Amino acid sequence: MATESDLTPIPHDARKYHNYPDSHYVLPTDEQEVERLRLQHNVVKNAFEGRLIFPPLKSQSSYFVLDSGVGPAAWLLDVASELSVSAILHGVDLESRLFPHSRPTNVSFSVGSIVSLPEEWKNKFDLVNQRLLLTALTRSQWPQTLGQIHRVLSPGGWVQLGEVGTWHAGPVSERHRRMLHALFDSRELLLDVSMEIPELLRKAKFDNIKVEVRNLPLAGETGADARNNWIGAFRAVKTPIMRLGGLGFVQTEEEFDHFLDELEKEWDSTPDAEIEFHIFYAQKPTDTSDSL
């Protein structure tokens, strides 16, 4: 398996990434990425008919909500506008640079790893949301993270996970997907984690596991926002790929940029080009004695 220590890095114009210890995250943490993440939130929200909360939360006057890997908090701030002002909403992330500069008084943020949430959060939250952490969590960290989420949920509380599935368009997409697999494998990340999440949830002792899937068009004007979002994400992993010497797929920064230009053209011009998005949700049993 290729590693950063045994391949010659390719010179390139690097973006800003965080330096959290033992992080495997492959995306940047600059203002350009903040804007992309906001676009991504709107793309996913529109694909699911404007819905933000999928599980049937029990009726109560207020809720404790955690956004795991909150980033610029697009989802959390949107939810804050829908819930009562008595709701308490918190976001946790490795990088504070992504946090919004302004927030409602019932929204807060902290820097930390979702693999090790604070002990005092046990049985605290009614809902934990987590979206698109296939770019951050290794194979061994997925069970740890779901175990932590299970621990901090109140009995009867829900977890909600959003992850991308497969995408298809043509031969450029197939070659690009092979390059992403090589990158993800080098960091022990799971590009196809959406296929494993139901079993991971079962092993983490969640019940009532549900999934909703949408196929988002990538071609033409209809697919412009989804296309711009995911092409933006794929361009954003340039630095990790350059640091690994191009992984046998590209040899220069210019070649990488051209590859992504061709990918974007293929998506735009292929009428049936699509990308899957999955929303999983599952419940912590009400009769649990959580010892995780």
The predicted-structure confidence for 7-59, as pLDDT tens digits, reads as follows 799 999 998 887 776 778 899 989 999 999 999 999 999 999 999 999 999 87
Integer angstrom CA distances of residue 67 from 13, 26, 292: 32, 20, 20
- If one compares 21 and 77, the residue with the highest pLDDT of the two is 77
Pair of tokens at residue 39: 């676009």
Rounded distance between C-alpha atoms, residue 278 and residue 260, angstroms: 24
Rounded distance between C-alpha atoms, residue 259 and residue 134, angstroms: 22
Tell me what percent of the chain is helix, strand and coil, each rounded to the nearest 5.
Answer: 40, 20, 40
- Contacts of residue 252, Cβ cutoff 8 Å, sequence gap at least 6: 10, 246
The predicted-structure confidence for 217-250, as pLDDT tens digits, reads as follows 999 999 999 999 999 999 999 999 999 999 999 9
Q: Which residues pair with 125 in a beta bridge?
A: 153
The predicted-structure confidence for 243-284, as pLDDT tens digits, reads as follows 999 999 999 999 999 999 999 999 999 999 999 999 999 999
Q: What is the pLDDT of residue 62?
A: 87
